[in-house]
Amino acid sequence: MKLHSKIAVIITLILGLQFGFSFLIFQVQSSENVSDEIVAILETSMGNITIRLREDMPITVGNFLYLLEQGVYNNTIFHRVIPDFMIQGGDPTGTGYGDPSIPKIQDEFSENPENNKNYRGTIAMANTGAPNSGSSQFFINVVYNSHLNTIHPVFGDIMDGMDVVDTISTVNTDSNRKPLSAITINGTQLIPEFPKWIIFPLLLVASFVAILT
């Protein structure tokens, strides 16, 4: 790993420590009160999209939850939508180039090959195609995109709102596949609500793995 990448990871780790300990002090609860199922809702300008996050993807889900709780996805747009393929969002810059201040994470794939399939209605990490280049961007598959199975880690499934995804995928776009009228993520929710400090150990796992690679 290059020096600047290690520095970025260390900065993220420090921020995670600050974030996690603040909630550990004020919101420590018994793990027995925490649901095994984590559900995130994207409140878009075209309707809500409800996502069940995968339990076997701690690095990717931990990163997603951390960014969600930090409000990174609020007021961002779906900057790339392609009919019969996918819709992509999660870039605070709205350009598709990504925010360089958000560190990249380690690629993560399930030990169960079936769970790595980019079926219709799954959410996966967007990246440049190079190893370990995922950051904040994600996409939702509109069809089964089998050619992405070994490149883009799947970390959740759409529980409700696939009709919203389908509608977004068919809006008018420019030559770069960017919608002519902005489609925004106005806010997010976690259901059921759970102690935010749970994100802290997940983030630590992601950071330590990145440092060691």
176 assigned to active site:
no
Asked if 210 contacts 108 with a C-beta cutoff of 8 angstroms, the reply is: no
Instruction: Tell me the mean pLDDT in the region 57-82.
Output: 96
Q: Exactly one of 63, 88, 106, 145 is catalytic; which is it? A: 88
Residue 207 phi, psi dihedral angles, 5° rounding: -70, -45
Q: List, for residues 155-198, the tens digit of each pLDDT value.
A: 999 999 999 999 999 999 999 999 999 999 999 998 865 455 45
- Kindly tell me if the per-residue pLDDT of 17 is higher than 80: no
Nearest-angstrom CA–CA distance, 188 and 69 = 8
155 assigned to active site:
no
Nearest-angstrom CA–CA distance, 112 and 186 = 34
115 assigned to active site:
no
For 134, other C-beta atoms within 10 Å of its C-beta total: 25
pLDDT at 191: 82
Asked if 138 contacts 126 with a C-beta cutoff of 8 angstroms, the reply is: yes
Q: Exactly one of 85, 109, 194, 208 is catalytic; which is it? A: 85
Nearest-angstrom CA–CA distance, 75 and 44 = 9
Q: What residue ranges do the domains of the chain occupy?
A: 34-195
80 assigned to active site:
yes
CATH dotted code for 34-195: 2.40.100.10
Residue 39 phi, psi dihedral angles, 5° rounding: -120, 130
Q: List, for residues 79-130, the tens digit of each pLDDT value.
A: 999 999 999 999 999 999 999 999 999 999 999 999 999 999 999 999 999 9
